[in-house]
Structure 1
Amino acid sequence: MLNKILYNTVLCQTFSPCGKYLVAGNIYGQLAVFDLDRILNPIVELLTSDYNQPKQIHTLDSGHQICSLASTEKFLIVGSVNLIYGWDWKGVLGVKLSKPSWVIKIPSQSSLEQIDVNSLWISDDEGKLYAGCGDNKLYVFNLEDGQQALVMSEHTDYIHSVHGKNDQLVSAGEDGNVFLWDVRTGKSHNKLEPHSNSKVSRPDIGKWVGSAALGDDWIVCGGGPRLALWHLRSLDAVTVFDIPDHGIHVSYFHDDCIVAGGTAKHLYQLNYSGEVKVELPVSATTVYSAVLRTSPNKVLAIAGSSPEIDLCTSFNYRDQILHFR
């Protein structure tokens, strides 16, 4: 029988609060824990052939895919199917995965309903957890007690992406809509429809929006429609990025650049005017996750439809490949 892990797809990643560990989640309900200290600062005499493989691989009891990951100072938060788990970081880094510290169940109309928790975002004060889900709803939970605080219902198809900044939240979905929300009221106050803009529309790929992120004055988003930079107040598409992708799943701001990827041979770093600053070759045919950290190590980890995770320490080229197998 073929080893199914060779056909692995890594949907999400996050760093531990100390930045010394990378955790990746896959479609088989597995969490891989990589020891970045050992990988990035090896002691040559002690180096073994498996140095770039996970320190641990934990499997969810449910076996459901791991759709999203997030981290607080205390917890690794795992979004799966119908459930969100919170594990104490000490329990994740051990040899055997402990019982979760808490579990949140997504409310459903039927016991047969399968609701993927596609995207997680945590408020800056780590008080609220926002979950964009496959039932078209955006749920808000209090992290202190796990109670549901709000349900935000504007999307008419499943949500791909949630991101927040400065009391605002942006969500993007399969319906082709990008909603702007006020986190204080839970109400949407503006909406983008990139597929209805002729400059960014790509009907052959679809109207879905795979990723949206907020900057101080900007939104960057893409999916079926081209990756574009939109002005937050006027909602005009100021820059349309000319990159050879067939769908965007990752987009966010870093320093004075935009990082973006999807169904393409590279992960891109672009300036606001549209110039490609860096083209990073990737192992995956489709990138679903690209997480970045600057301390204690400068590291960018890129994952997707491959058992290989690309690790970049300069952000300019791929210098190591991790194996989730």
Structure 2
Amino acid sequence: MFSEFILILYSLEAALAPAATDITKNPIYTFKASEDGSIYCLISTDTLIISASNGTISAWKWSDVLSRAGKVLWTITIPKRRPFFTPEVNSIYINSKADMASHLFAGCGDNNIYVYDIETGQEVHCLQGHTDYVHAVTKKNDNECVSASEDGTVRIWDYRTAGESTLVLQPYKHEICGGGPRMSAWYLRSLTMSATFDTPGACQQFIMFNEDTVISAGTEAFVNHWYMNGDCKSRVPCTPTSVFSVAINRESENNRVLCVAGSSATIDVCTNFGYKAFGLSFTMPD
């Protein structure tokens, strides 16, 4: 989460160059992304940067940003379904198919998942069923999405219909759960747990698949690399004591790095995923 309402752009190519200096690791462009609230999530497509904050989702063209002209392309406003309550947008993703309209999914603090047509900006569906705010929403396949909520459930939705979720996972009711929150992997067909990933004393706030491993991080100054059976492959120290996001640049083999961001003014850059190579300073504009 960014609390200064701005987005900051760095040049990985310049930061990774053999002759790189502290100056080449500084931001190359900053622009305001929110008027009245923190930025809770950020995604990128081939042509757009999309961020979300309190009640709004905004997009910019990459071509404009790279030419230092960060003008908002469009903004979607989440409806207020309760008086005096503006829902934060905690998670977004885009589902694009060549033969269908592109849809944007938003998991929000009012317990709902909203689906929008990107071309028109119109709401297509509102998926309701969670009883507390939605932490994350992501794609399962072209017709289904998955959401996770503070209510302790993971729900699978067929968004072609605006009805109830088709499947509900309730890990806290599973007979082998216990000892506090633990990250776990589940078989979707049988809805059974396949592995647990134990991090005593820390909750995992970010999870991603990377080839045949799982990467997670959370409320401690480590990035965890796991085998799929739940065994820990490695624990890599990082600068933030609480990690919010981990990202891998897959667009260029020469600039393939892992970046770690969280409760720190530094974004860690790992050229070899086993250690921090250097940091990008989250320098604020004057």
Does TM-score exceed 0.5, indicating one fold? yes
* 2:68 match: 95
How far 1:86 sits from its partner (Å)? 1.0
Q: 2:5 aligns with which of 18, 29, 39?
A: 29
Deviations 1:62-112, CA, capped at 9 Å, x for gaps: 1411001112222111111111001111222343522x1111000003573
CA distance in 2, matches of 1:144, 1:36: 31
Q: Residue 33 of structure 2 contacts residue 51 of structure 2 at CA under 8 Å; is this kept in 1?
A: no
- What letter corresponds to residue 73 of structure 2 in structure 1? S
1:246 equivalent to 2:202? Answer yes
Q: Deviations over 1:228-278 (max 9, x none)?
A: 111111111111112235211111222111111111221111111111112
- Give yes or no for contact 2:6–2:34 (8 Å, CA) kept in 1: no
Partner of 1:322: 280
SS at match of 1:171: strand
Q: Deviations over 1:255-306 (max 9, x none)?
A: 1111111112211111111111121211111111111232312121111111
Matched, 1:50 2:23: yes
Instruction: Name 1:105's counterpart in structure 2.
Output: 77
Q: Under a length normalisation based on structure 2, what TM-score does the superposition of the two structures give?
A: 0.90
| Structure 1 residue 314: Cα displacement | 2.3
Q: Alpha-carbon deviations, 1:34-83, whole Å to 9, x = none? A: 111111124x2xx4432222112222351411001112222111111111
Gaps in structure 2 of 5+ consecutive residues: none
Is 1:64 the equivalent of 2:42? no
Q: Could you tell me which of 83, 87, 90 is aligned with 1:118?
A: 90
Partner of 2:184: 228
| Corresponding residue to 2:166 among 185, 189, 192 | 189
Q: Work out the CA distance in 2 between the residues paired with 1:117 and 1:278.
A: 32
Give the secondary-structure state (helix, strand or coil) at the position aligned to 2:261: strand
Higher RCO (Cα < 8 Å, 6 or more apart): 1
Q: Does the aligned pair in 2 maintain the 1:248–1:260 contact within 8 Å?
A: yes
- Deviation of 1:186 after TM superposition, in Å, equals 4.4
Aligned partner of 2:266 in structure 1 is: 308
4+ residue runs over 4 A deviation: none
Higher alpha-carbon deviation: 302-311 or 241-250: 241-250
Counterpart in the other structure of 1:294:
250
CA distance in 2 between partners of 1:72 and 1:115 (Å): 24
Mapped contact 1:195–1:202 kept (Cα < 8 A)? no
Residue identity opposite 2:174 in structure 1: N
In 1: Cα distance, 2:16 partner to 2:137 partner: 31
Deviation at 1:132, TM superposition (A): 0.3
Whole-angstrom CA distance in 2 between matches of 1:197 and 1:129:
32
Match of 1:154 in 2: 129
- Aligned counterpart, 1:163: 138
Give the corresponding residue for 1:85: 58
Q: In 1, distance between residues paired with 2:152 and 2:34?
A: 34
1:263 is matched with 219
Compute the TM-score of the two structures, normalised by the length of structure 1: 0.80
| Aligned CA distance change for structure 1 residues 108 and 253 (closer, same or farther; 3 Å) | same
How many aligned positions are there?
A: 276
Alpha-carbon distance, 1:198 to partner: 5.0
Q: Retained in 2: the 8 A contact 1:283–1:306?
A: yes
Distance 1:61 1:131 in 2: 17
**Cα pair 1:132 1:160 within 8 Å, conserved:** yes
Residues 106 and 193 of structure 1: is their aligned pair in 2 closer, same or farther, counting only changes over 3 Å? same
RMSD across aligned positions (CA): 1.9
Deviates more, 1:57-66 or 1:270-279: 57-66
Distance 1:295 1:241 in 2: 29
Whole-Å Cα distance in 2 between the matches of residues 140 and 76 of structure 1? 18
Matched, 1:173 2:173: no
1:277 is matched with which residue? 233
Q: Per-residue deviation at 1:159?
A: 0.6
Alpha-carbon spacing, 1:263–1:88, altered in 2? closer, same or farther (3 Å): same
> What are the ranges of 5 or more consecutive residues in structure 1 without an aligned counterpart?
1-10, 12-25, 204-224
Per-residue deviation, 1:146:
1.1
Q: 2:185 aligns to what SS in structure 1? A: strand
Equivalent residues of 1:199, 1:240 under 8 A apart: no
